Structure 1
């Protein structure tokens, strides 16, 4: 009997040992799952990151991610406008599927977002900064988000406990909140998903006071296509309302005081719309903050009043371009400084070794190319977006990748990295083969794009298209029926529409067939186009 009891005890002990060992193994497996730090700015052009091009600005901290990881040169978006891009990132679906085709349409709240999946899988999740739609992000344990576009100075935030206002500069504040969560609030026993989302450098480009003073003294090189006349392109490029000379506002964009333009009377060219809306940022400042801006604002206004009436159109666009770059790039410098603060903390705390760091933007942006600002087009500067990913011991440092990847792919990439199953209805492709050196497993050679917000701000016509490494085929529709083709290798600035060139007719035929297949693959169709057009018209009638 005694021997039997001893045998039972031994058996029980062995079972407990196996159980504990299994639990420990499971816990170790969970603990080894990577953290994910997703950094996204708003309207950050790849041309304004020195890892891509250093002719405008140096961004040493953002560049660290590229030097220690992978830089994608053909990363792009499915729909180049803020809220739709964010909806695509969160859902891993094209905007015609998730409902957020433009900034006005409703997001389908039944859609599953990837933070929800991370939360369900045991990750701790947080979001700080600009979401741009919805006041209660799903799948997020802790958040402080800007309402709508948010403000650069003394911004309001939506939190789980209610609204609050924080004094200071928004880029610094979002970083402070992020660092505070990483240092003080997160559960160190759990892996984390942190979405660190900057407002900057979204229009209307209010830098921090010291950066405003610094950059107002600087002069920047002009893009080769600043004076593009769109001669070799179709109606869409000719009629878009995003020209620096004609459509950039003197007061809210160029920071001329409205008292100055009021004194001057009618200033040519007349820019429609409220000239003073951008000065609401200035109105939010206290006296000490205003003192950092007043001298530069006075000098801008004085120069404008003294010189504008006698300047040629060429001189005017050059002046407005410099004002644009001074403010835009000053905002970028603050983003870069603050990204550096977060990267430094990851290094100092030891978190860097098991944290995937992603830097991207919700889309690209025109920095004077083709005489434009803003985005929306399938043309390169708005279509392409920066994408830098660092993952120690997984991604070889300093690698450049040229494959056609999209913001559509982020969700599935993060899920696979964390060993979480992705829903079957997600439409992207995980970038894991590219990140881990298994490029032969990557099969995509073309991406699909569709822009819907027309007629609306900037008047960029509705269009969809297919883009490969070699070519870009675009169909503009709604009130036109025009096709454009660009040879991306021979014409990287996209100045020559070769749709009617006999030498390209085989290319046109082939790409149109591929485009039909992509629309079918992603469940887009002429019927959906017609439905969305009717819905937009119904909204106009209600107004």
Structure 2
């Protein structure tokens, strides 16, 4: 048996921090997420650095900001950098990845073959990007012919995860499981979970505005979409329970670090918006639960400003794996469990005006988040928003450039500038950024595919597109 701890890292897609019982939401049913929090630590103010799928997923796996791992927008591939799986594989771990990947460029239904493009993961039951939760032919193993499966996607993925745990029980193992929900389409949830919220009233957050500003917001029913979002989370909660039970049945609960988080949140009608790619809390705050018996005290809470760049160094320290942290932008959160306050500020960003930000005509932005304030600028260092989080926790009163906040704003401008310098971020329009990074050809190919001009297929690269497809949001 290895002296290293095992890792089960589970993340949802587009799940907000607020929508669990352990987060104080009494209207949603999440007994197993609550069980996980009760047995470990709940980071109550966890953030993602870039609230959109591909950039955030790259950060979760590398500990780097998107501008340093290269996947600066949806459907751009992860650059040439080490992942957590690369590090763990070198230490003898059996590594596995199940679910949505979204780090291999275009087309979205492409086959990612065994080898370097799987970024250190050996076992593979994944697809690049899809949110068709009852589709039967989406998984790729080691053949370009997709596997035929049936049932609700998170249930199938959890079955595969349980099988991986059984087959690798002698360890050490590191399994990353990426569930697609509660990312829209919101109604695509088994009916038994939708029924849980059929008649129950759901209290809207104070900043909810309907009708919304986006075309999607005008098409969807407000009450039903939130109820279905809750239903999807309850469905995931059931699957989390199955995973925790499996670890206990196999005698692995004491030796396995369990992590649960999300790649970003969902505005879900707050400020009249849906989805993500903006700096408000609904898009950037995510759940972050960790359990490691004997190391993490049960029922712990930390209000530290944890963020996605911190996940890799934190995981490696908990597992007892030494590494050179110089290639990462984050730092371990383990001191926070001993009372350390954690980071004083977090850098947030959207590097490319595309997808949701293009739909809402929001230019590229950067932001700094402290315990007390959220400050954001749009490209060109133009002040955009400043919220006093103590006085305005739902971020409804923008006080940017107001005289009473001049000194505070000046300090936040300085902090943001320092963070941008450390991240080597030139803060230029996205179309200029991709050219500077040598990603121009990939970006233009991505735009052609998104426009429907190019087709997809099961090929191994962006140029393998064969037949037209309609791309969805990431």
TM range (shorter): 0.7 to 0.9
The equivalent of 1:247 in structure 2 is 216
C-alpha deviation, 1:347, in angstroms: 1.7
Structure 2 distance, partners of 1:526, 1:211, is: 43
Q: Deviations over 1:414-440 (max 9, x none)?
A: 2222323134211110112124x2x34
| 8 Å contact kept, 1:201–1:328 | yes
**Residue 23 of structure 2 aligns to a residue in which SS?**
coil
Question: Cα–Cα, structure 1 residues 483 and 527, in superposed 2: closer, same or farther, change >3 Å?
Answer: closer
Aligned partners of 1:153, 1:164: CA distance in 2, in Å? 14
Give the equivalent residue in structure 1 for 2:207: 225
What does residue 363 of structure 1 align with? Answer: 264
Cα gap change, 1:169/1:416 in structure 2, threshold over 3 Å: closer, same or farther? same
Determine the C-alpha separation between the residues in 2 that align with 1:212 and 1:399: 31
The correspondence for 1:467, drawn from 363, 366, 369, is 369
What are the equivalent positions in structure 2 for 1:147-162 lying under 5 Å apart? 147-155=128-136, 156-162=138-144
Tell me if structure 1 keeps the 8 A contact 2:387–2:395. yes
Task: Determine the structure 2 residue equivalent to 1:426.
Answer: 328
Alignment deviations for residues 467-515 of structure 1 (CA, whole Å, 9 cap, x no partner): 100111110236x934321111111011111122222111111111111
- 1:254-308 Cα shifts (integer Å, max 9, x gaps): 4xxxxxxxxxxxxxxxxxxxxxxxxxxxxxxxxxxxxxxxxxxxxxxxxxxxxxx
**Structure 2 residue 105 is the aligned partner of structure 1 residue 124:** no
- 1:179 partner SS: helix
In the alignment, which residue of structure 2 is the partner of 1:517? 418
- CA separation in 2, counterparts of 1:526 and 1:147? 29
Query: What is the alpha-carbon distance in structure 2 between the residues aligned to residue 122 and residue 99 of structure 1?
Result: 27
What's the CA shift for 1:36? Answer: 0.9
Structure 1: distance between partners of 2:261 and 2:342: 23
SS in 1 for 2:182: coil
Task: Report which of the two structures shows the higher radius of gyration computed on alpha carbons.
Answer: 1
> By how many angstroms is 1:127 displaced?
1.1
- Sort the Cα spacing of 1:49 and 1:451 in 2 relative to 1 into closer, same or farther, 3 A: same
Deviation, 1:520, is: 0.9
In 2, are the aligned partners of 1:449 and 1:466 still within 8 Å (CA)? Answer: yes
The aligned runs of 1:331-342 (5 Å cut-off) are: 331-342=232-243
Whether 2:180 is the aligned partner of 1:199: answer: yes
Once the two structures are TM-superposed, the CA of residue 128 in structure 1 deviates from its matched residue by: 1.1
Please list the CA deviations of residues 354-406 of structure 1 after superposition, one character each: whole Å capped at 9, or x if unmatched: 11111101111123322322111111111111101111111111111111111
Aligned position for 1:345: 246
- Equivalent position of 1:453 in the other structure: 352
SS of match in other structure, 1:173:
helix
Alignment partner of 1:226: what SS? coil
Q: 1:213 & 1:510 partners in 2: Cα distance?
A: 50
Provide the residue aligned with 2:457 in structure 1: none
What is the match of residue 280 of structure 2? 379
Alignment match, 1:354: 255
Aligned equivalent of 2:469: none
Instruction: Report the CA distance between 1:150 and its aligned residue.
Output: 4.2
Distance 1:329 1:382 in 2: 16
Deviation at 1:446, TM superposition (A): 0.7
Distance 1:204 1:194 in 2: 26
Say whether the 8 Å CA contact 1:416–1:422 is kept in structure 2.
Answer: no
Is contact 1:415-1:422 (8 Å) kept?
no
Report if aligned partners of 1:131, 1:197 keep a CA contact under 8 Å in 2. Answer: yes
Deviations 1:323-374 (A, max 9, x none): 1022211111110001001111112222111111111011111233223221
Higher helix share: 1
Contact 1:451 1:462 in 2 (8 A): yes
In the alignment, structure 2 segments of 5+ residues that lack a partner are 105-111, 452-474
Q: Deviations over 1:197-225 (max 9, x none)?
A: 10111111200133244544443222222
Does 1:112 pair with 2:82? Answer: yes
Alpha-carbon distance between aligned partners in 2 of 1:53 and 1:355, rounded to the nearest angstrom: 27
**8 Å contact kept, 2:364–2:430:** no
Match of 2:223 in 1: 322
Aligned equivalents of 1:104 and 1:501: distance in 2? Answer: 39
**SS of aligned partner of 1:125:** strand
Higher mean alpha-carbon deviation, 530-539 vs 496-505, is at 530-539
Structure 1, unaligned runs of 5 or more:
1-27, 230-241, 255-319
Secondary structure at the residue paired with 1:44? coil
| Residues in 1 aligned to 2:430 and 2:218: alpha-carbon distance in whole angstroms | 32
- TM-score, normalization: structure 1? 0.74
- 3-state DSSP class of the match of 2:322? coil
In structure 2, C-alpha distance between the alignment counterparts of 1:526 and 1:74, rounded to whole Å: 26
Aligned match of 1:145 in 122, 126, 131? Answer: 126
| Counterpart residue number, 2:39 | 68
Compute the displacement of 1:46 (Å). Answer: 1.6
For 1:176 and 1:443, the matched residues in 2 are separated by 36
Q: For the structure 1 residues 243 and 103, does the alpha-carbon distance in structure 2 shift closer, same or farther, using more than 3 Å as the test? A: same
Aligned-partner SS, 2:405? helix
Which 4+ residue blocks in structure 1 deviate beyond 4 angstroms?
Answer: 527-530, 533-538, 540-543
The equivalent of 1:262 in structure 2 is none
Equivalences, count: 426
